[in-house]
Chain A
């Protein structure tokens, strides 16, 4: 796919054609009066892979929940192309129903949308196949490893064929080997399906490896402090992870993160 024409300011403010998500002046203040977020002005182009990178508690998860409609902003406007129905969400925990089989867990979004049984079956099969869990459809979540559970969670987010995939530190709790493998699988999925991905992480290395655009956030209240484009040869693979180019990007983003954290 051809990269969309680079706009002068990618964090522009007004919703434009070609934007999957745009947020304008979004803030979040909790009941106790603690300012958690913003003001945040933030646009994501359709088909882009954007990471929100910041220290714990910087409000990046809150921003994601606001985009998903799970949390209401205190002020500001959020525009999501296609409305909330076009969103798939992957939580930090696999968030599976322990009483339901893998198949039923993945089928849930379609069942809630009252789709027909035959329709559901086909979509569930293909979503499970896509994450490589076709033969585990009848298993229960507790019978699976942490990485497999996260794959189920991913299949559930994909089953409605959403345009936008929101991921809230999905691999943070996994061991490094599993995380690397899931990173590669996610990149392959993104290349195949060309969905817009907004990926929240606190790992510089993960954000550089996965995304085409890294948005660095300041500590609470979270604001955008810097942005980095990761332009490299696609498709990315393990060679990229060990390349000098990757190391340079990581150094650059790390420095940006330190600067963001140092800001009062």
Chain B
């Protein structure tokens, strides 16, 4: 493979840009956040907006600290649901993709239903699930429904993207189906699977929240989304904001963890995890 070297001035420019990039990538969002919070604070102060309409950032922060014991418990509940839904989505999505890869008949028979499950809005399915399933199960199933499709479709794509010559080589050396799967198809699909997991992580949080909100009206449950609904009924707007803040942070942390896992598993060989220079 030949790589054409960039001409000298362009190369120097690029490397300077690269050096500045990490700093800018951290500083810029932080600056935007600071500015946003400041504007929020000023508007609330200047217009003297009452806290049950729009609480200021300071009030949200103090509520977060004051209600921490309740919110922390709720956060753990929501995270547990998310993790269960995510785990089920990973296992189910990868397993189903492997089955589809081994048998085209099975794929033709089941794929349409997987798609139907994906395109039907989960908020519309959740009330039904809550009727037929115990609440904790229903909530996990909701998280699973939302999250499993990207895993399934990405894994399928990955398993179908195996280098034809490598496949031929495995055939030449008499590899069994299992050996081909283990040594060729799964490693080749890994970048795609990890991409699917990144999407699924965020989606299982969304699924959990949707199900909690749907379940919340039934009166039980103590997840973060339930706290948001409950605080809404009680016009406890600062706590709504605090719970929402926690949810966002949880989503970001989930995404960052999965991105880190992906980087660690691919850094030695995959284009997506390598710097521009090598």
Contact = CB atoms under 8 A, between A and B. Distances in A.
Given A68-B172, A87-B172, A97 B268 contact: no
A95 B165 contact: yes
A1 interface: no
A98 interface: yes
Contacts of B246: none
Contact of A97 (B166, B172, B173): B166
A85 B187 CA distance: 25
A115 to B, nearest CB: 11
A84 interface: yes
B169 A91 contact: yes
B269 A69 contact: no
A65 B167 CA distance: 13
Contacts of A230: none
Given A70-B168, A89-B169, A112-B183, A99 B174 contact: no
Interface size class of B (residues with CB under 8 A): 20 to 34
A99 B269 contact: yes
Contacts of B270: 98-99
B183 to A, nearest CB: 7
B170 interface: yes
A177 interface: no
B170 A140 contact: no
B172 A140 contact: no
Contacts, number: 60
Interface string A137-159: 00011110010000000000000
B35 interface: no
Nearest to A84: B172
Nearest to B175: A112
Given A89-B169, A146-B1, A140 B174 contact: no
A105 B174 CA distance: 16
B169 A95 contact: yes
A160 B2 CA distance: 31
Q: Output the residue of A65, A84, A112, A146 with the most chain B CB within 10 A.
A: A112
User: Interface majority SS on B: helix, strand, loop or mixed?
Assistant: helix
A86 B183 CA distance: 22
B176 to A, nearest CB: 8
B12 interface: no
B217 interface: no
A93 B274 CA distance: 22
A111 B183 contact: yes
Contacts of A113: 173-174
Nearest to B268: A140
Contacts of B169: 89, 91, 95, 108
A76 interface: no
Given A85-B174, A112-B174, A98 B183 contact: no
Interface in A93-132: 93, 95, 97-100, 108-109, 111-113
Interface string B133-166: 0000000000000000000000000000001011
A113 B172 CA distance: 11
Given A84-B172, A112-B179, A93 B190 contact: no
Interface of A: 65, 68-70, 84-85, 87, 89, 91, 93, 95, 97-100, 108-109, 111-113, 140-143, 146, 160, 173, 175
11 contacts: A70-B171, A70-B172, A89-B172, A95-B163, A97-B184, A100-B187, A111-B183, A112-B174, A112-B183, A142-B278, A146-B2
Given A65-B168, A89-B169, A91-B169, 15 more contacts: A69-B172, A70-B168, A87-B172, A91-B168, A95-B166, A97-B166, A98-B269, A99-B187, A99-B269, A100-B187, A112-B175, A113-B174, A142-B278, A173-B1, A175-B2
